Amino acid sequence: MGNTHIGSVDSLKLTVLIENSPGYDTYLEGCFGLSLWLELRSGDTCKRVLFDVGPRADSLFRNAEMLGVDLNTVDMILLSHCHFDHTAALAGLLDKLGRPMPVFGHPDIFRPNFVLKPEFMDYSMCGQNGRQSLEARGACLVLTKSPVEPFPGLMLTGEVEHTTAFEESGGVSCLTIDGEGNMVPDRLKDDMSVLVSVRDVGVIVLSGCGHAGIVNIVTQCTRLSGGQSVAGIIGGFHLLQAPIERTDQTIQSFRKHAPGLSFIAPMHCTGLRPSARMAEAYGEAFRELHAGDSVTFTANP
Ligand SMILES: [Fe+2]
Ligand SMILES: [Fe+2]
């Protein structure tokens, strides 16, 4: 994978529609999952993008309405990976929209995916969120392992290259079914992230669950941006089951690969202790983001 020339936007406004917790002093619903509403402006153009949709359509609709976000104006939906906490609201959302809608994701997104411990739990896109059902509801699927830039300055990373040895431990214990019908560990290769290049600001990295390893993700985003500096890292870092040493190694790697980092918001599946460690390390640059919170990154006037 070589460097890619990426465009840029004048501003990115991000609003958290779904997260595990509601923001302070709000009456929004918190529910296990993630959905980010992105408004990207370039000149007179504004694109509205949903990065993940969360697990429940009714919660998504309710929070969006309370926040004054008109979901009907969405231009495209990007899915980070198959897990239900990021995708299960999709069928209900497509029904509400009632029109064809581009939906980007990895080609393996409809495979079986489940855990057996502590009990069986299906994490996959199935039932009304299966492929045929979604297409019948208007999903125009764009399934790709390669990076794609659906709007200049907005890029989906494609499959993330694993370049960081210490990130191979402490992930989730998901299983899948291989081509011969055997139950095998699922390495969640479908985990893709988003990068937005904001003029004068740098790259903002948005991670869904971070299964690919947040350092791998940041490294890939830097590469895809042609070496621009990373200004923000936002989303799930998936460190809650990892040894705390991995968090310390993650912070060290951020210092190396994202020395200009001015905004870091670990969310959703990062875990309390890893988040606290990052809050300590990053001081003012650390931000809590929950349902209802928003942040804007803007180019110099
Ligand atoms: Fe998740
Ligand atoms: Fe996940």
Share of the chain above pLDDT 90, in %: 94
Local structure of residue 226 (DSSP, 8 states): T
Q: What pLDDT was estimated at residue 266?
A: 98
Report how far ligand 1's centroid is from the alpha carbon of 274 (Å).
16
Residue 182 lies in a domain: yes
Can you say how many angstroms the Cα of residue 193 is from the centroid of all Cα atoms in its chain?
5
* Domain-embedded: residue 6: no
Query: How far is the centre of ligand 2, averaged over its atoms, from the C-alpha of 268 (Å)?
Result: 10
Find the helix packing angle between 272-282 and 244-257, rounded to 10°. 40
Ligand number with the minimum distance to the CA of 268: 1
pLDDT digits (tens, 9 = 90+) for 180-232: 999 999 999 999 999 999 999 999 999 999 999 999 999 999 999 999 999 99
Distance 300 CA to ligand 2 centre (A): 36
Whole-number Å distance, alpha carbon 83 to ligand 1 midpoint, is: 7
Give the Å distance between the CA of 271 and the centre of ligand 1: 12
Determine the distance separating the centroid of ligand 1 and the alpha carbon of 125, expressed in angstroms.
13
Assessment of whether the complete model's pTM goes beyond 0.85: yes
- 284, exposed or middle or buried, with CB in 10 Å at 0-12, 13-18, 19+? exposed
What is the distance in A from the centroid of ligand 2 to the CA of 269? 8
CB 192 within 8 A of CB 46: no
Say whether 27 sits in a helix, a strand or coil: coil
Tokens encoding 43? 């000149």
Residue written as token pair 């990052």: 278
The DSSP string of 241-267 is TS-HHHHHHHHHHHHHH-TT--EEEEE
Q: How far does the centroid of ligand 2 lie from the alpha carbon of residue 209, in Å?
A: 5
The CA 64 to ligand 2 mean position distance, Å, reads 22
Assess if residue 2 is contained within a domain.
no
Tokens of 124: 């996959």
Query: Average pLDDT, stretch 6-18?
Result: 97
Residue 252 has pLDDT above 50, yes or no: yes
CA distances from 113 to 68, 169, 186, 194, 262 (A): 35, 19, 7, 22, 36
DSSP character string of 62-104: HHHHHHT--GGG--EEE---S-HHHHTTHHHHHHHH-S-EEEE
Which listed ligand is nearest to 82 at the C-alpha? 2
CA distance linking residue 250 with residue 235, whole number of Å? 15
Report whether pLDDT(12) > 60: yes
DSSP state of 120: -
Return the closest-CA partner of residue 295 out of 198, 176, 184. 198
For residue 257, report the distance from its CA to the centre of ligand 1, in Å.
Answer: 24
Task: Give me the CATH number covering residue 161.
Answer: 3.60.15.10
Residue 3: pLDDT band (50, 70, 90) is very low
Q: Is the pLDDT of residue 113 over 80?
A: yes
| Residue 177 resides in a domain | yes
- Asked, for residue 234, whether it belongs to a domain, the answer is yes
Mean predicted confidence (pLDDT) in 28-57: 98
If you measure from the C-alpha of residue 48 to the centroid of ligand 2, how many angstroms do you get, rounded to a whole number? Answer: 24
- Domain containing 38 equals 11-296
Distance 234 CA to ligand 1 centre (A): 13
Distance (angstroms) between ligand 2 centre and the Cα of 38 equals: 20
Which one of the ligands is nearest to 191 CA?
2
Q: Give the strands of the sheet with 154-156, arranged side by side.
A: 148-151, 154-156, 194-198, 202-207, 230-236, 263-267
Biggest CA pair distance of the chain: 58
Between the CA of 84 and the centroid of ligand 1 the distance, in Å, is: 8
Say if residue 2's pLDDT is above 50.
no
CA dist., res. 176 & res. 267, Å (int): 26
CA of 87 to the centre of ligand 2 (A): 10
CB 224 within 8 A of CB 157: yes
* C-alpha 83 – ligand 2 centre gap (Å): 5
The amino acid that residue 273 corresponds to is: R
Q: Is 162 inside a domain boundary?
A: yes
Q: Is the peptide bond before 259 cis (omega within 30 degrees of 0)?
A: no
Q: How many other CB atoms sit within 10 Å of the CB of residue 111?
A: 16
pLDDT tens, 124-149?
999 999 999 999 999 999 999 999 99
Q: Would you give the DSSP letter of residue 194?
A: E
Distance of CA 19 from the midpoint of ligand 1 (Å) = 10
Single-letter code of the amino acid located at 157: T
- State the DSSP H helix or E strand holding residue 219, giving kind and residue range, or none if neither: helix 214-224
Domain total for the chain? 1
Asked if residue 4 belongs to a domain, the reply is no
Q: 170: pLDDT confidence band, cut at 50, 70 and 90?
A: low
Distance 78 CA to ligand 1 centre (A): 14
Ligand showing the shortest atom-to-Cα distance for residue 31? 1
Ligand nearest to the CA of 113: 2
For range 10-29, the mean pLDDT: 96
Q: Is residue 87 part of a domain?
A: yes
Q: If pLDDT is split at 50, 70 and 90, which confidence band does 4 have? A: low
Percent of the chain at pLDDT exceeding 70: 98
